Amino acid sequence: MKYEKEISRRRTFAIISHPDAGKTTLTEKLLLFGGAIQTAGAVKSNKIKKHATSDFMEIERQRGISVATSVMTFEYKDCLINLLDTPGHKDFAEDTYRTLTAVDSVILVIDSVNGVEAQTRRLMEVCRMRDTPVIVFINKMDRDGKNRFDLLEEIEKELKISLHPMTLPINSGKDFKGVYDLHTKSLLLFTANTKADEEDAFAINDLNDKILDDKIGERDAAQLREDVELVDGVYGKLNVEDYLAGKIAPVFFGSAVNNFGVKEMLDTFINVAPTPLCRETNTREVCPGEDKFSGFVFKIHANLDPKHRDRIAFMRICSGRFERNKYYHHVRLDKDIRFSNPYSFLARSKDVIEDAYPGDVVGLFDTGNFKIGDTLTEGEDFYFTGIPTFSPEIFKELVNKDPMKTKQLEKGVQQLTDEGVAQLFTQFGGNKKIIGCVGELQFEVIQYRLLQEYGAACEFRTLPFYKACWLTSKDEKKLEDFLRFKQTNSAEDKDGNPVYLAQSEWFLNTEITNNPDIQFHFSSEVHK
Ligand code: G4P
């Protein structure tokens, strides 16, 4: 395999969680272990606080932070770790789903007090679709949380994944004494604000050893012996193959804010987490060790300075070696382009890089060549699949408030939707522009950015749709007739693909039943 040394030391992953479970805190601790930051508090939360949903400066601040922390690369024990950030706010969920297409595994953070929450469920659905390997970190054990076994059961049931405890907690809240590491057979005693090299760990090969009673007291020692026996009986040894296949998730208990239990997880992570994986394209599977370079764009970020329209496209490298100043083939546009200032996200600063390897993410300056999902190769014509667009949840008509600025508005909408901020549909038969988003906040972002960056004023009129379905049919005539009869509910997406906009589940089911020759799809992937 070419570049084997570089590929085998890379781990590319994302941390996902419901807001407030501790994603930012855990990220910070991992960066501290990797030496990428020196002090706590250096990683800013990318959350938009609830009270600030209509505060535009807050949106801008968020954009600033999220570009700076989009990818965090650090080294730990010979491994090169690429941590891809995902937005905290649920209205940007689509952004998170796309980022998940660029990682090889995830760490899921669960708040021990709240258990499984709404966003955890949705994120895990996306992980399950792709069989992404998951490690679970049950956080905030220093708070009075749910019973450890109830939590495990809840996670297994709600997230439809089998778990494998790697550590077991000894109590929680103010009685939290630490964890027992089932793998290394050692006891880790809890102290608040643990430094990386100051862990209080004791090897306990025989759990019946009196030292356990001395360390945590007789009652808790007896309970731990019982717990370990139970867990050993039920779970046995971790089957890494099952983890890599996305069937089993190793679980760690800890407290991110106290840096407790984090190192154990990180050590396991670098041992078991997958190195860059092969990826599907429309023609064949592409593997990292191939000679020739390939990669795809999963995120586009506009320049924060409205005077400069250039953007940064984030490209995940899938195979071969990416080199600065070399011409690569842009498959969709069928043209060759090169990049003189690609940058990486190593440690604290953005650095221009000479080359990069599979698993890495490079930032490419873009003057409008890229759309989400675009593929670059060394000449071969294929594109990476599995970067779907899902149906938006809110639909609004875009109303131009200044006819003198029509051109600017069109350009702005085009560019913002290329970035993946929202989806654009054009109604059949009319020219009504429909914007679809996951959350209300995105409409505010669009309105604000169109005015600030393109000088175009617009407003939105609510439409009664609840879902968009992409349509295909072997019988073109039937599809055409359907689109004509259902004109008010028919539109085309940005790439000209036919879409049915359903008013309600009832309408959708009726149309599906009445039109057996037409297929209704819930993602745009079918049209690639
Ligand atoms: P998020 O990115 O997933 O949204 O969560 P974040 O890390 O911002 O954490 C949310 C809150 O939970 C923060 O408190 C953080 O300090 C706290 N937290 C994280 N890990 C632990 C833990 O192990 N134990 C306890 N008790 N709390 C934890 P905050 O008050 O919202 O913010 P801050 O003022 O502390 O920054």
Distance 23 CA to ligand 1 centre (A): 8
Burial class from Cβ neighbours inside 10 Å (0-12, 13-18, 19+) for residue 296 reads buried
Ligand 1, from 25, 108, 138: best to mutate by most atoms within 8 Å of Cβ?
25
Contacts (Cβ under 8 Å, ≥6 apart) of 274:
11, 104, 105, 133, 244
What's the CATH number for 4-173+236-272?
3.40.50.300
User: Which fold, 279-377?
Assistant: Rossmann fold (3.40.50)
- As a whole number of angstroms, the distance between CA 107 and CA 92 comes to 19
User: CA 212, CA 224: separation in Å to the nearest integer?
Assistant: 9
Q: Is there a contact between 404 and 119 (Cβ–Cβ < 8 Å)?
A: no
Q: What is the pLDDT of residue 448?
A: 87
Helix (H) or strand (E) holding 152: helix 148-159
Quick one: how far is CA 286 from the chain centroid?
A: 21
Q: How far apart are CA 271 and CA 349, in angstroms?
A: 27
525 CA to middle of ligand 1, Å? 37
Architecture of domain 391-525: 2-Layer Sandwich (3.30)
- Residue nearest atom 16 in ligand 1 by C-alpha distance: 257
pLDDT at residue 303, as a whole number: 65
Measured CA to CA in angstroms, residue 230 lies from 220, 223, 235 at distances of 15, 11, 9
Domain positions in the chain are 4-173+236-272, 279-377, 391-525
The residue whose two tokens read 């700076």 is 68
Closest residue CA from atom 6 of ligand 1: 22
Phi then psi for residue 292, to 5 deg, are: -90, 145
Q: How far is the CA of 21 from the centre of ligand 1 (A)?
A: 7
Task: Kindly give the distance from the C-alpha atom of residue 25 to the centroid of ligand 1, in angstroms, as a whole number.
Answer: 6
**Over the Cα atoms of the chain, what is R_g?**
25
Distance of CA 286 from the midpoint of ligand 1 (Å):
40
Alpha carbon of 111 to ligand 1 centroid (Å): 10
The length of the chain, given as a count of residues: 528
Name the closest-CA residue to atom 35, ligand 1. 257
pLDDT at residue number 53: 40
> Where are any strands of DSSP class E within 394-514?
394-400, 423-427, 433-437, 458-462, 467-473, 490-493, 498-502
The protein residue whose alpha carbon is closest to atom 24 in ligand 1 is 140
Closest CA to 508 of 460, 450, 466: 466
In 3D space, the residue among 442, 429, 433 whose CA is nearest the CA of residue 490 turns out to be 429
**Residue pointed to by tokens 């924060």:** 304
CA of 22 to the centre of ligand 1 (A): 5
What is the DSSP pairing of strand 105-111 with strand 10-17? parallel
pTM of the predicted structure, to 2 decimals = 0.86
Residue 43 CA to ligand 1 centre (angstroms): 12
pLDDT at residue 73 in the model: 87
Ranges of the chain whose pLDDT falls below 70 = 36-69, 88-91, 194-200, 303-309, 345-350, 526-528
- The pair phi, psi for residue 277, each rounded to 5°, is -95, 165
- What pLDDT was estimated at residue 400? 94
In a 3-state reduction of DSSP, which class is residue 137?
strand
Q: Which atom of ligand 1 is nearest to the CA of 19?
A: 4
Tokens of 307: 């005077």
Burial annotation 495-505 (CB, 10 A radius, 16+ → b, else e): eebbbbbbeee
pLDDT at 200: 65
Which helix H or strand E contains 459, and what residues bound it?
strand 458-462
Can you tell me whether residue 415 is helix, strand or coil?
helix
CA of 24 to the centre of ligand 1 (A): 8
Structure tokens at 45: 């939360």
In order, the DSSP letters of 24-74 are HHHHHHHHHHTTS-SSTT-SPP----GGGTT-HHHHHHHHHHHHHTSEEEE
Task: Choose the residue to mutate in 257, 259, 262, 265 for probing ligand 1, maximizing ligand atoms within 8 Å of C-beta.
Answer: 257
Token pair for residue 476? Answer: 């073109």
CA–CA separation, 161 vs 128, rounded Å? 9
User: Is the Cβ–Cβ distance between 490 and 451 less than 8 Å?
Assistant: no
Residues contacting ligand 1 via CB (< 6 Å): 17, 19-25, 45, 47, 88, 139-140, 142-143, 255-258
Taking a C-beta distance cutoff of 8 angstroms, is the pair 267, 261 a contact? no
Coil, strand or helix at 7: helix
281-312 pLDDT per residue, tens: 999 999 999 999 999 999 888 765 656 667 88
Q: How far apart are CA 515 and CA 8, in angstroms?
A: 50
Determine which residue's CA is closest to atom 32 belonging to ligand 1: 20
Question: Is it true that 4-173+236-272 and 279-377 share their CATH fold?
Answer: yes
